[in-house]
Amino acid sequence: MPSPSSPPPPPVMGTAPPGNNSASPADRGTASWNEFEAAFKTEHTSHEQAFTPSLRGFDEIAWWKQEVKDVGLEVPHERWKGVSLDLLNIAHDLPRPLSTRSFPVLQGIAERVGVDADDGEFVVVTVPVDVKWDLWAGAVQGKYAAVERFRRVGAHVEWVMATASRAGGVLPGWLQDLSVPGVVAKDVDLYLKWEAEQRESRAEYASASDMGESLDTDEANDPGAPG
């Protein structure tokens, strides 16, 4: 988690074939718009845990998914509506000798409406909250804030992140900064690698299913087949 003084990372572009919402199993290092939506717009933290080694676990304390779907926001030339709002406690393992950190946050997801099918956009906003609970024994409570924007740009997907954090404890801020360099860039690589593995697994499952259906059809068409 970069510090507040870290420069904002450049946009991350995931490529999908023009006019297509999917990528082939061979397209490692890429992700389609549908894949970005599935990974980050729904069950955001659960999917993040799947590809982030340091994310030890999380607790969903409260959630308002149905309630926020009726909430809208209008700004000049844009309309947004709520997708979900969750109160979470996220635990991260830090490099030794640092102990586990827990980050209580309120995480909201909203999508832009009234745009063309080729111009989808959604944001994930995470803000720290002050709490009294201690859900992870021995964990030091830290603070984390982030804004992530996912947007279709032609045949590409733009993923822009701005983050700020403090790990808490007795560690001075400058030393925390040295402990967590380049984490945003690593998150990008971890996600794209995980997505490629998921895509390959889906392709293998689909191939096996097609083979099973083909065998069933052959047996049904063979009058001499034992049954």
Residue 137: name the closest of 168, 104, 99, 165 by CA: 99
CATH of domain 12-204: 3.30.530.20
Q: What is the pLDDT of residues 165-199, one digit of tens each?
A: 887 877 777 766 655 445 566 788 999 999 999 99
Residue 187: name the closest of 156, 159, 155, 145 by CA: 159
Across the range 51-78, mean pLDDT stands at: 89
The pTM score is: 0.77
Structural domain spans, the chain:
12-204
Q: Are strands 140-141 and 101-113 parallel, antiparallel or unpaired?
A: parallel
What pLDDT is recorded for position 126?
A: 96
Q: What is the pLDDT of residues 31-52, one digit of tens each?
A: 999 999 999 998 899 999 999 9
Q: Helix and strand tally (H, E) in the chain?
A: 5, 9
Label residue 17 by pLDDT band (50, 70, 90): very low
Q: What is the pLDDT of residues 101-157, one digit of tens each?
A: 899 999 999 999 887 766 899 999 999 999 888 778 788 888 999 999 999 988 889
Give, in order, the Cα–Cα distances in Å from 140 to each of 2, 20, 170, 184, 196: 18, 45, 10, 22, 34
CA distance 13 to 150: 10
Report the DSSP beta bridge partners of residue 14.
Answer: 157
Query: How many beta carbons lie within 10 A of that of residue 3, not counting itself?
Result: 18
